[in-house]
Amino acid sequence: MKCFGGIKTKRTIFITFTFKMEKLPTHIIDSFGRMHDYLRISLTERCNLRCMYCMPEEGVILKENGKYMSKNEILQIAKCFVGLGVKKIRLTGGEPLVRKDAGEIISELSKLPVELAITTNGILIDKYLNMFLDSGLKSINVSLDSLQKNRFKELTRRNQFDKVMSNINLLVENNFHVKLNAVLIKGENDDELLDFIEFTKQKPVHFRFIEFMPFDGNSWDKNKVVSYDTIIEFAKSKYGKDLIRLKDKKNDTSKSYKIAAYAGTFAIISTVTNPFCDSCNRIRLTADGKIKNCLFSNLETDLLTSLRNGENIESLIYESIWKKKAVRAGMTTTDEFTSPEEHRKNRSMITIGG
């Protein structure tokens, strides 16, 4: 495993952690015993949409290109994580496919012994379809916050509905494992809940409803959250006994359901009203090379600078994850989690990575 950057000019020095570990572990664990084997890598902070819950309407201030990870740095850091037990890598953004060398990165990562997946807004899927097939990438998440063309334009601030729907159909036709992500926001798109579920009647897709989460610049309001309980009660009132609870996989962030005889399924990611922190196995790597050990944490560990200095980043990875809080970056109460001040300290979603 190569966890050094640049040219090694110094001997390896392992950091002595505050938790007095005698030797480095063989897996990435935190102080609560949670094993972390799922890495989400943001390829870029750029996006060709402007979704209201993710990016401020005016966009974000982009850094100089040299501040972001290069292709080789992404591959080197990814190999280090795989050597530490990571079994799944998901590429995110921004929109990962707007990066010019995205295809090269995907092709190289597909050679690693991991499950490789990607989250995209769907606009460029047709351009990359053959590359996905050649690389063996079969699991694709597509953001789809409305089935109405005009509303899609309002929510994303771009007129790309037809292209996204065409590409979703293209994925289904080519037997990809397709998850569709809808962030439900009260008064914006929650009236489409049954339409989303009905979309799974004929298509073998997995529609996931995500509770509206607070981040810097997205005008979050707890009154706009459509809760897990609300979604289930609404589904029960429509489908009754045909609503079937499915068995979730280990470390799933979602609670899965299906309607009897429907081709697809649906699920709810209840980060706000029913967090799933006790089974979290995720690590986030931002496009500028920093670890976030929790989506809601404003604390980051800079791997990229250390890598460029020729240092061993292994110890930094272990230490960052060890310090992870039990629940939502230490925000254990509703008042803490819903405080705007807490989330202004964090990044906007676009610069974290989905």
The pLDDT of residue 18 is: 45
The pair of structure tokens assigned to 205 is 């897709």
Unique residue bearing structure tokens 């037809």: 162
Residue 189 covered by a domain: yes
pTM of the model: 0.90
The pair of structure tokens assigned to 301 is 């560990």
- Within 13 Å, how many C-alpha atoms sit on residue 260's CB side? 8
Residue 8 covered by a domain: no
Residue-number span of the structural domain to which 306 is assigned: 38-347
Residue 11 covered by a domain: no
Alpha helices in the chain (DSSP H): 71-83, 102-109, 125-135, 149-156, 161-173, 193-198, 228-239, 303-308, 314-322, 334-337, 340-344, 349-352
User: What average pLDDT values come out for the chain (354 residues) when binned by 10 residues?
Assistant: 58 42 74 96 94 75 92 98 97 96 98 98 98 96 97 95 98 98 95 98 97 74 91 97 95 94 96 86 96 89 98 96 91 75 68 77
Structural domains of the chain, count: 1
What's the CATH code of the domain at 163? Answer: 3.20.20.70
Residue 3 covered by a domain: no
Residue 21 covered by a domain: no
Residue 18 covered by a domain: no
Angstrom distance (rounded) from CA 247 to CA 257: 8
CB atoms within 10 A of CB 65: 7
Residue 85 covered by a domain: yes
